[in-house]
């Protein structure tokens, strides 16, 4: 990510202001499998509660936060996921963010994005052509 896009864009990772603020007031507590970095504030806020936030590696899409970090971010629990959750089972699949609006979104059978091909349905017929 070049310095120019850091200055002029806001949709990937942190802006310069956020990065500066994070490095001065935040403490980096962990990174998830996708590379998203999680921070908490060094000092509690005005209501006496610590603030927690994430800087995404890539697109700023809230659904990219995996379940274990989601709980920590929302103060469901205070311990960091790796220290208090059981280790992941080998059969657990990797977390995938919400695919809606992306190329990998689910397309039903027969959708145009599937190439317009659909399963046979009642009423379909095979037209004759002279070459047949």
| Nearest-approach distance from CB 130 to another protein, in angstroms | 4
Question: For residues 91 and 128, which CB has a smaller minimum distance to another protein in the complex?
Answer: 128
Burial label for 64, CB within 10 Å (0-12, 13-18, 19+), is buried
Q: Which residues bind another protein (CB under 8 A)?
A: 122-130, 132
Question: For residues 46 and 121, which CB has a smaller minimum distance to another protein in the complex?
Answer: 121
Phi-psi region of 3 (alpha: psi -120 to 50; beta: other; left: phi over 0): alpha
Q: In whole angstroms, how far apart are CA 120 and each of 78, 109, 113, 123?
A: 54, 10, 18, 9
| Nearest-approach distance from CB 120 to another protein, in angstroms | 10
Question: For residues 76 and 122, which CB has a smaller minimum distance to another protein in the complex?
Answer: 122
| Nearest-approach distance from CB 85 to another protein, in angstroms | 42
Question: For residues 91 and 125, which CB has a smaller minimum distance to another protein in the complex?
Answer: 125
The answer to whether the beta carbons of residues 46 and 34 sit under 8 Å apart is: no
**Other CB atoms within 10 Å distance of the CB of residue 21:** 15
Structure tokens at 105: 């979104």
| Nearest-approach distance from CB 118 to another protein, in angstroms | 15
| Nearest by Cα to 82 from 71, 68, 93 | 68
């Amino acid at each position: 990510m070049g310095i120019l896009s850091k200055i002029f864009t806001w949709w990937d990772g942190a802006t310069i202001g956020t990065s500066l603020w994070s490095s001065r007031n935040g403490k980096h507590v962990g990174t998830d499998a996708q590379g998203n970095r999680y921070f908490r504030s060094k000092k509690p806020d005005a209501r006496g509660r610590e603030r927690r936030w994430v800087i995404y590696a890539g697109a700023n899409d809230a659904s990219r936060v995996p379940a274990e970090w989601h709980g920590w971010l929302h103060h469901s629990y205070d311990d960091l996921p790796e220290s208090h959750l059981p280790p992941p089972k080998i059969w657990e699949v990797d977390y995938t963010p919400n695919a809606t609006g992306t190329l990998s979104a689910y397309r039903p059978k027969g959708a145009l994005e599937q190439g317009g091909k659909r399963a046979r349905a009642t009423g379909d017929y095979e037209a004759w052509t002279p070459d047949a």
